[in-house]
Amino acid sequence: MDFTRHNEEQAAVWAAFNAGAPTRVPMTIACNPRMLLLDPLLNPGGITFAQAFSDPAVMFAVDLQFAHWFRHAVPGDIERGLPEHWAICPNFQNVGDAAWLGAPLHFFDDGVPDTRPLLTDDNKRLLFDRGVPDPFANLMGRARDFLEYYRERAETTVFHDRPVTVVNGSPGLGFDGPMTLACNLRGATEFCLDLYEDPDYAQELLAFLVEAVTGRQRAWRDYFGYPRERGFIWFADDSIALLSCDAYRELILPHHQRYLFTDRAPDAPLTVHLCGDASRHFVTIRDELGATRFDTGFPFDHGAMRAALGPDIVIEGGPHVDLLLHGTPEAVAAETRRILRSGVMDGGKFILKEANNLAPRTPMANLQAMYDVCRADGVYASAMQ
C-alpha cells in the first residue's frame, strides 16, 4: 500500500478528532505480542510465553517482530510502514499485580499466562502478615531487569534499517483494579462470597491492595524520574461487572475514589477500561470519579450509552472480537455499519475499535472490512459540507 498517503490521512483524522472538529470516526486496534506467540503461522519457531518471560533476549526479539507485524498487517488509523525508530518495552501481559504479591505464575499451552489464587480460606491473612512487598520484588524486579537489558541492547540494535528506542513502560506503573486483583488473589467466587460473608476482611483486603499498589507506583515513577502527580490516568477493574450498581457503590467505589484521587493532578483526564458487561456503572464512574473516556467491550449498547453519557465523553468500542475472529468480512461490515448508525457518533467523540483486545489468528480481511466501512460510513456531515 501507499504508506505515505495512508499516514497523511490517519494523521489528519486524529488531528481533527483531538481538536474537537472530527472529520470522521478514527479506528484503532488494541493487540499485543500474543498475536504472534499464539499463531503458528506467525510463530513458526514455536516461541512460548514461558521462554519470553524468562529470557529478555527472547522477549526483546518478540516485541520487535510484533511491532513490525502490527505496522505492516493491521488496518486502521495507525501509522504504518517502517518508523523512524522502533519504540518498545517489555510486555508481561496482565499478571503483574498478582505476581508481584506472590501469586504463582502459570503458563498454558495455547493461551496467555495467568496467576493462580494465593489466598485460600486457610491463609486469608497471608498478605497482611507478610506486609507490602518491595516495589521491585518478584515480577517487578524481573520487569526492571528486562527494561535495563532492553536499554543496553537498543543502543547497538538496528532492526529493518531502523534504530530501536525503549519506552518507559512497566507493570509497576499499572493497576488492574482492586476488585480484579482481589479476585486474582482469592478466586472470583471466593472473593465475591467474602464481600457478603466476611465483609470486614474483604474491605481490609481492598484497602491493603490500594495502599500497596499506590506505594509501588510512586517508587516506579521515582525510578523513571516522573512527577509524583499523575497527569493522565488509565484505570481498569473488570471484575466490577460481577456486581449490581448498589453493590458497586457501597463496596468498591470508595476504594476507586481513594486510589484515583491520590497523587492525581488537578483536571487529570481519566480513561476507564471495562471490557465486560459493566456499562450500568458508567454514569456513576463518570459522576463520581470524573471519567472522560471509556474503553468498552461486550456486550455494549453503543447508542444507549451515548445517550446516557452525553456528547462530551469519549467512547471506544466496536464489533465483538469473536465476530472478528470467526465471522465473514460481510458480517463484520454489517455490524460495523450498525454500530456507526446507532447514535454513538453524536458529539464526534467515538473511536472505533475491536471489543476488546484482538484475538490471535483474526483474519486481517475482517479488520479491513471494518476499516472500509469506517472510512465510508464514519464521515461526519460537517466534513461533507
Q: What is the pLDDT of residue 262?
A: 96
pLDDT tens sequence across 196-233: 999 999 999 999 999 999 999 999 999 999 998 999 99
Q: What is the pLDDT of residue 99?
A: 97
Q: Report the alpha-carbon distance of residue 133 to residue 201 in Å, rounded.
A: 20
Domain spans, the chain: 33-226
287 pLDDT higher than 80: yes
H or E segment and range at residue 160: none
Q: What is the pLDDT of residue 385?
A: 59
Asked whether the CA dihedral 248, 254, 259, 263 is positive or negative, the reply is positive
Q: Are 160 and 65 a contacting pair, CB within 8 Å?
A: no
**What does the pLDDT average to over 337-364?**
97
Q: What is the pLDDT of residue 247?
A: 98
**What does the pLDDT average to over 322-334?**
98
383 pLDDT higher than 90: no
1 pLDDT higher than 90: no
pLDDT tens sequence across 122-161: 999 999 999 999 999 999 999 999 999 999 999 999 999 9
Q: What is the pLDDT of residue 346?
A: 97
Does the pTM surpass 0.85? The reply is yes
Q: Are 118 and 185 a contacting pair, CB within 8 Å?
A: yes
Q: What is the pLDDT of residue 382?
A: 78
Q: Report the alpha-carbon distance of residue 52 to residue 60 in Å, rounded.
A: 8
Q: What is the pLDDT of residue 384?
A: 62
**What does the pLDDT average to over 108-127?**
96
Task: Output the average pLDDT for the chain.
Answer: 97
Q: Report the alpha-carbon distance of residue 244 to residue 140 in Å, rounded.
A: 34
pLDDT tens sequence across 252-275: 999 999 999 999 999 999 999 999
